[in-house]
Amino acid sequence: MRPAAEDPQTATALAAHQAGALRWLGGGVMAVVLGILLGAATVALVGDTGRHYSLLGFAVLALVLFGISGAIAGIGALVRTTRWRHALAATVWRTGRLRIAGPAIVAFEPEGYDELDPDDTRVHLRLLSTAIWRTRAVQKLDGAEILAAPVGDRQWVLTAEGLGTLVGARTVPH
């Protein structure tokens, strides 16, 4: 069997995840630069006119703080993409059924799972993303066949035909 990372849909989803991370990082950096430039322009304007522009100070603060937050989110997403890419290169997709157990809690039933067999266990997972659109997309997969792969000690990546993205999840005790 070929590694999960070699699947064309997986490669496309990883590339899209990386592109989104770069957008967050780039947007954050641009916001910080704009905040610094606006701050410098405000200081020069106050020096020339002697008037105070308190709203511009708030705009500078907002640009810098939101920019730093966006850059941190972008760096985190880049790290996650890299970690997923390496982990998926070393494992294969496992097929199974997805069961919804709560708003962001899902259970993965590997292929061949028998709920009457006490030795068979589901993998209970909590979605890493809190984005409403992503959570709803996963919830629509209740009972559907999905692909799942472990990417760490307690982390899994999920996807399904037509989902077009990878979804990260962390195991939870049951």
For residue 6, give the DSSP letter. Answer: G
Look up residue 80 and give its two tokens: 């996650």
pLDDT one-digit tens code per residue, 150-159: 998 899 999 9
Q: What is the mean pLDDT of residues 49-55?
A: 88
Q: What is the mean pLDDT of residues 62-71?
A: 97
Give the span between the Cα atoms of 42 and 103, in whole angstroms: 46
% of residues, the chain, pLDDT over 90:
57
Contacts of 107 (CB under 8 A, 6+ apart): 98, 99, 100, 101, 122, 123, 124, 125
Give the span between the Cα atoms of 152 and 82, in whole angstroms: 13
Position 135 confidence tier, pLDDT thresholds 50, 70, 90? confident
How many other C-beta atoms lie within 10 A of the C-beta of residue 51? 7
pLDDT one-digit tens code per residue, 72-100: 999 999 999 999 999 999 999 999 999 88
Per the prediction, the chain carries an average pLDDT of 90
How many other C-beta atoms lie within 10 A of the C-beta of residue 112? 9
Look up residue 113 and give its two tokens: 């799972």
pLDDT for residue 116: 67
Is 37 a residue whose pLDDT tops 70? yes
What is the pTM for the complete model shown?
0.81
Quote the distance between the C-alpha of residue 119 and its chain's center: 33
Position 114 confidence tier, pLDDT thresholds 50, 70, 90? low
Structural domain boundaries in the chain: 4-89, 94-171
pLDDT for residue 10: 92
Is 112 a residue whose pLDDT tops 80? no
